[in-house]
Amino acid sequence: MSLQERDKKHLWHPLKQHQTHPNSLGIVKAKGCMLTDENGNDYIDAISSWYTCMFGHCNPYITGQVAEQMQTLDQIMFSDFTHEPAIKLSEELIKILPKNQNRIFFNDNGSTAVEAGIKMALQYHFNKGEKRSLFIALENGFHGDTFGAMSVSGLSVYNGPFEDFLMHVERIPVPNGENNQAIIDQLKQLVSKQKVAGFIYEPLVQGAAGMKIHKAEDLDIILQFCKENDILTIADEVMTGFGKTGSNFASNEINTKPDIICLSKALTAGLVPMAITSCTEEIYTAFLSSDIAKGFFHCHTYSANPIACRAALASIELLQSEEIQENIQQITAAHSTFANKIKDHTKITEVRYKGVILAIDLKTNSSRYGSLRDQLLTSFMNDGIFLRPLGNTIYIQPPYVITEAQLNKIYTTIEKVLDTF
Ligand SMILES: *Cc1c(COP(=O)(O)O)cnc(C)c1O
C-alpha cells in the first residue's frame, strides 16, 4: 500500500479539512533544493519547507555537526544544567542580533516563542508594580496557534470556537505612509484609556498575510511611539529571521530596536524544532529579585536541546559565510529582474520582493482558500515545483543554495501557469 493510502488510517494533518482534501503526498527523500515523492517524482522546494531549510535539505555540514552532537550529549534539563552548545549559541546570536539584545531564552517552536514573549512583557510590567493587560498588534498579522499567539494574530477567521477565550488585543492597520498619522492618533486614544503592555509585529514582511511588505521608516514611527509610552515592542522574526529579508534580521533594517525578538523556523535549518525569545538586559533585570515569584517560570521540557543548539550553530556559521551572503544578493537581484519582467502581466495586480522573498498577487475574485488556490498548487506540482499559494498570492522563498537553473525553472513555470489559469 502507498504511503498516501496508509496515511489515511490513523493520521490527522494540520491545516487540513480531511473530508474535502483526503490525500497527502508521500515524500521519501529530500536533498538540497529537491524533494522526491513515493512515485519517484522530483520537485523543487520553492518555499524551503515553510522557510526552514534555507541551506538546503540534509545539508551535509549541518547534519555532520548534529551527528557528532548526538553521540556526545543528547538532552539535558536546562532548568538545572547548562552546556557548551547553548552557551556558544547565545554568544553567536548576541553578535548578530540588534545591539540592544542581551538575553537568550529557549522555547521549542514559533508559537511558544511568541507565547514567552507575551508573558515576558506582561510580567515585566507586573514585576515593576504596574498592571498592564492590553496588547496591540498589526491587522492581518500571524503569530502562531497557541492561545496567546492566536489572540495577537489578526488572521482570525478560523478562530471562531476560541474567540471567547482569547486575550484582549487592539489592532492597528499596517503603516503605509499615508495612514501613519491616523495610526498615531489611534494609539494616543488607546493609551489615554487603557494600560498597554506591548506591541507585537512581524517586521517588514507579514508572512501568512501573503508576504505583505511595509517600509522600515513607517513602522519606525509606531515603534518610537511605543518606546515613549513604555509599551514593550515584540518583533516576531520567526519567518523573517536569519537572512530572508536580505539582512540577518529584519529588525536590523529598522531604526528603533525591539525589546523582545522571537525566532524559530530557519534557526535550526529545518533539522529539529527549536525557538528562541531574546530580550534586552533591562527586561531580564526586572525579573531579578529575592522573591522567587518574580522569576520567569515558563519552561518547555526540550529547552535548549543540545542537538537543536548544534544545528543552529552550524546554520548561523553558514549564514555568515561569504558564499551564502553572495547567494542571497544574487537571488534578490534575480527576483528584481523577474519582477520587472512580469509586473505588467494582465493576470497580476502586484508583484513585490524583499531579500529572497518574492510574492505575486493574482487578479481574481476567488477567496483565500477557494478552488483556484488548489488548482494552482496542482499545476505547479505537475511541473515539478512545490510552492504553496496563500489564497490568491503566489510566493516563493527558495533555499539560499538554490542554483540559477532551478530558480529560472521556478520563474518560467510561474509564467506558464499565469498564462493557463
Ligand atoms: C510560523 C510562524 C509562527 C509560528 O511558528 P510555529 O513554529 O509554527 O508555531 C509565528 N510567527 C510567524 C511570523 C510565523 O511565520
Mind listing the pLDDT tens digit for each residue in 311-326?
Answer: 999 999 999 999 999 9
265 is in an annotated binding site: yes
What pLDDT score does 371 carry? 80
Q: How far is the CA of 264 from the centre of ligand 1 (A)?
A: 7
Residue 370 in this model has a pLDDT that exceeds 70: no
50 is in an annotated binding site: yes
Query: Of 294, 266, 264, nearest to 277 (Cα)?
Result: 264
Mind listing the pLDDT tens digit for each residue in 68-101?
Answer: 999 999 999 999 999 999 999 999 999 999 999 9
- The proportion of the chain whose per-residue pLDDT surpasses 90, expressed as a percent, equals 93
Report the chain's mean pLDDT, rounded to a whole number.
96
Alpha helices in 71-129 (DSSP H): 84-96, 110-127
- Coil, helix or strand at residue 243: coil
Angle at 233 between CA 230 and CA 239, to 5 degrees: 180
What pLDDT score does 368 carry? 58
- The proportion of the chain whose per-residue pLDDT surpasses 70, expressed as a percent, equals 98
Kindly indicate the confidence band of residue 373, based on its pLDDT and cuts at 50, 70 and 90: confident
Q: Cα–Cα distance between 208 and 212 in angstroms, integer?
A: 9
* CB of 238 closer than 6 angstroms to any ligand 1 atom: yes
Q: Cα–Cα distance between 279 and 281 in angstroms, integer?
A: 7
User: Do 401 and 32 touch, CB atoms closer than 8 A?
Assistant: yes
* CB of 198 closer than 6 angstroms to any ligand 1 atom: no
* CB of 237 closer than 6 angstroms to any ligand 1 atom: no
Query: Of 212, 148, 211, 208, nearest to 174 (Cα)?
Result: 212
Residue 166's identity, in one-letter code, is L
Grid coordinates standing for 304? 535548549
Mind listing the pLDDT tens digit for each residue in 327-362?
Answer: 999 999 999 999 999 999 999 999 999 999 999 999
37 is in an annotated binding site: no
Which residue's C-alpha cell is 496588547? 135
Query: Of 79, 104, 101, nearest to 89 (Cα)?
Result: 104
**Phi/psi of residue 28, each to 5°?**
-105, -20
Q: Which of 138, 143, 397 to mutate to test the pocket of ligand 1 (most atoms within 8 A of CB)?
A: 143
* CB of 111 closer than 6 angstroms to any ligand 1 atom: yes
Q: Are strands 196-201 and 134-138 parallel, antiparallel or unpaired?
A: parallel
Residue 120 in this model has a pLDDT that exceeds 70: yes
* CB of 143 closer than 6 angstroms to any ligand 1 atom: yes
Q: Are strands 169-172 and 357-362 parallel, antiparallel or unpaired?
A: unpaired
* CB of 268 closer than 6 angstroms to any ligand 1 atom: no
Q: Cα–Cα distance between 352 and 397 in angstroms, integer?
A: 12
Ligand 1 atom having least distance to the Cα of 144: 4
Residues 6+ apart with CB under 8 A from 419: 347
User: 109-135 burial by CB neighbour count: b if 16+ within 10 A, else e?
Assistant: bbbbbbbbbbbbbbbbbbbeeeebebb
Helix (H) or strand (E) holding 68: helix 60-70
110 is in an annotated binding site: yes
83 is in an annotated binding site: no
Kindly indicate the confidence band of residue 160, based on its pLDDT and cuts at 50, 70 and 90: confident
Q: Which residues pair with 277 in a beta bridge?
A: 105, 262
What pLDDT score does 369 carry? 57
Which residue's C-alpha cell is 514559533? 110
Q: Cα–Cα distance between 277 and 107 in angstroms, integer?
A: 7
* CB of 138 closer than 6 angstroms to any ligand 1 atom: no
Q: Kindly state the average pLDDT of the residues 246-259.
A: 98
Q: Are strands 393-396 and 232-236 parallel, antiparallel or unpaired?
A: unpaired
Q: Cα–Cα distance between 29 and 37 in angstroms, integer?
A: 7
Q: How far is the CA of 200 from the centre of ligand 1 (A)?
A: 13
